[in-house]
Structure 1
Amino acid sequence: MPPYRLAHLSDPHLPPPAGALGWRDLGSKRLLSAIAWRRKGSEHQPSVLQALADDVARHAPDHIAVTGDLTNFSSSAEYAAARTWLQTLGAAADVTLSPGNHDALVRAGAPSTFEPWREWLGDTPQVAFPALRERGPLALINLCSATPTAPWLASGRLGEAQLERLTQILTSLAGRDLYRVLTIHHPPAAGVVSGRKALEDAGALRALLAVHEVDLVLHGHAHEAAVSAIPGPQGPIPVLGVPSASAVGGRRHPPARWHSIEFSSDRRIRVVARGLSADTGRFEALGDYVLQAPQRR
């Protein structure tokens, strides 16, 4: 049986459409984000994102995971534009989105509970996190760390309700021969991002995962190719992050990259990194490695 293939990309930071901000936003955190976008927006190019999406499509993965930050200001106009972009990736049943901090920048003027993206968040009629999506040999568990924060902060939080439901989901999967993959925007491993960008209750999440089996955690937010690990009941749990899917690359951050992750029936996980080449301007294989997932008890 061929391996099941999951594509992971993150932080596309789609360009804000006309009318994304109004005069009421001048007194909110959106103004700070708009200033930052004027300074850093050139680092994110739609042509790079399109080239990455085309490369993903050529490899025809079975499923795609997008770990957040589709928008910059979390405005209604951006949500609508992001929905259109999500539709270009594939059917909603074949794409899972975990919202990022920019997708929940402020409460005012933002769609409630990410409703415009509901079909990409989970399989239930109502938006609820964590969302369990069973696809082939995978149990995809979609968490949401996106929450409005004070100015100058880009931190995230899951909250007690999500952590309790995550415990229930993982308990329900006990004894089933499925790869358990968590998707989340903020990295749960310590030291991947600075304190002002960190997951506030990462310690509680790590304590939970030290008891309940998970095979892989995928995140964004760092705009880096991050490889780390957190303790699990049968050994370290791999935690993987990717750079921004629209990044040109330069002094601040590396160019765009995505991961093709292959899950085999022998509990082997092969990760193939594909990134934007500065020499050719095309996406090329940068390398690959294999992770051995623990055998199910």
Structure 2
Amino acid sequence: MFRLAHISDAHLGPLPKMSLRELASKRITGYVNWQRNRRKKLFGDTLENLLASMREAAPDHVAITGDLVNLATRTEIESARVWLETGFEPENATLVPGNHDAYVPGALGRAKAAWRPWLVSDTHSPEEPLFPSYRRRGPVAIIGISSANATLPFVATGDFKRKQARAAGKLLDRARDEGLFRVVMIHHPPVRGAAKWHKRLRGIGRFGRMLKKHGAELVLHGHTHLDTLYHLKGRDGQVPVVGIASCSHGPGGGTPPAGFNLFDIEGEAGAWKLTHRRMRMAGEGPGFEEIQEGLIGSGAL
């Protein structure tokens, strides 16, 4: 059995001090949102308690689906690198960026450089794009897709374009030929209606066509801060698409409290068994409790 954990949307805080020059951009809207809303929800030792609970479950690998930071300042990106180094060996954790990691032009490039050990494929040439990424861990192929890009104020859309779709399709075929269980990671939910119009993924239809042609066994995303389970049509059946609450969100507010997903993967090509457990913060205490368990994917049919 291979155990995969999934967390997302840490939004590591608090915000650093920023100059007027840094705020003279889209960051001003994010700064106001942080002061009025987000800092009140992402508080205390919620994230530390979640990581302790997750580690007790002894996952073989951790999937992190983006939004490590808030406004993607240089200080935040560097602090997130230290956080990754402290808590996650690159061999045992895979990251894809989110829209907050690409908050303003130039930020995504800095984040890619700082967080490269957790982003890069097992074998990667400097002249190749960083995404889609491909990592093999035991019987699992982890394919990372970047939907992150800088957008205008009050917009948090993502992009999935043709070039990345073609490359990801080839990786999905490669993993199928190798008899691997295929996990696709992306920040924005690739499902119509899963996010509001101004936060949607542009290229949802392209993503769906990719799954229909090449298939996958599991898709993981973040972005909405919601505990969700959708299904998309794949090459050989329905593909579960699973979202998760912010791993830093305390109790109260309009979205669920902090949680993480656990997936137990067993079997072999053509006969996979995927068990999903959703863990959620238990009240205001440090513990996390299981709120959902069951087979998902083709093994549940």
Question: TM-score, normalized by length of structure 2?
Answer: 0.92
Listed as ranges, the matches of 1:273-284 within 5 Å are 273-278=278-283, 280-284=285-289
Q: 2:107 and 2:177 mapped to 1: Cα distance? A: 44
Q: Could you list the runs of 4 or more consecutive aligned residues of structure 1 that deviate by over 6 angstroms after TM superposition?
A: none
Deviations 1:27-57 (A, max 9, x none): 2001110000001211012510000011111
Q: 1:45 and 1:221 mapped to 2: Cα distance? A: 19
Q: 2:256 and 2:201 mapped to 1: Cα distance? A: 22
Q: 1:27 and 1:231 mapped to 2: Cα distance? A: 44
Q: What does residue 96 of structure 2 align with?
A: 98
User: Secondary structure at the residue paired with 2:83?
Assistant: helix
Q: Which amino acid aligns with 1:282?
A: G
Q: 2:194 and 2:297 mapped to 1: Cα distance? A: 23
1:34 and 2:36 matched: no
Deviations 1:120-150 (A, max 9, x none): 0023364610000000110100010000011
Question: Structure 1 regions of 5+ residues with no counterpart?
Answer: none
Deviations 1:206-264 (A, max 9, x none): 11111111010000001000111111122211000000000013231110010111101
Q: Which amino acid aligns with 1:273?
A: R
Q: What does residue 185 of structure 2 align with?
A: 183
Question: TM-score, normalized by length of structure 1?
Answer: 0.93
Greater CA drift, 22-31 or 280-289: 280-289
User: Secondary structure at the residue paired with 1:173?
Assistant: helix
In the TM superposition, what is the alpha-carbon distance from 1:163 to its structure 2 partner?
1.1
Contact 1:15 1:46 in 2 (8 A): no
Q: 1:87 and 1:125 mapped to 2: Cα distance? A: 23
Q: 1:9 aligns with which of 3, 7, 29?
A: 7
Q: 1:259 and 1:125 mapped to 2: Cα distance? A: 32
In the alignment of these two chains, the number of paired residues is: 291
Q: What does residue 114 of structure 1 align with?
A: 112
Q: 2:179 and 2:173 mapped to 1: Cα distance? A: 13
Q: What does residue 212 of structure 2 align with?
A: 210
Contact 1:12 1:69 in 2 (8 A): yes
Contact 1:76 1:111 in 2 (8 A): no
In the TM superposition, what is the alpha-carbon distance from 1:286 to its structure 2 partner?
1.6
In the TM superposition, what is the alpha-carbon distance from 1:117 to its structure 2 partner?
0.2
Q: Which amino acid aligns with 1:28?
A: S
Question: Structure 2 regions of 5+ residues with no counterpart?
Answer: none
Listed as ranges, the matches of 1:49-198 within 5 Å are 49-108=47-106, 111-112=109-110, 114-122=112-120, 123=122, 124=124, 126=126, 128-198=130-200
User: Secondary structure at the residue paired with 1:53?
Assistant: helix
Q: What does residue 249 of structure 2 align with?
A: 247
Q: 2:40 and 2:2 mapped to 1: Cα distance? A: 36
Identity of aligned residues (%): 34
Q: Which amino acid aligns with 1:153?
A: V
Cα gap change, 1:284/1:99 in structure 2, threshold over 3 Å: closer, same or farther?
A: same
Q: 1:113 and 1:79 mapped to 2: Cα distance? A: 6
Q: Which amino acid aligns with 2:295?
A: V
Q: What does residue 22 of structure 1 align with?
A: 19
Q: 1:46 and 1:13 mapped to 2: Cα distance? A: 13
Q: Which amino acid aligns with 2:290?
A: A
In the TM superposition, what is the alpha-carbon distance from 1:110 to its structure 2 partner?
5.8
User: Secondary structure at the residue paired with 1:211?
Assistant: helix
1:272 and 2:267 matched: no
Q: 2:109 and 2:146 mapped to 1: Cα distance? A: 15
Deviations 1:136-178 (A, max 9, x none): 1101000100000111101000222211211221232342211
RMSD: 1.6
Cα gap change, 1:134/1:108 in structure 2, threshold over 3 Å: closer, same or farther?
A: closer
Contact 1:89 1:95 in 2 (8 A): no
User: Secondary structure at the residue paired with 1:206?
Assistant: helix
User: Secondary structure at the residue paired with 1:168?
Assistant: helix
1:229 and 2:227 matched: no
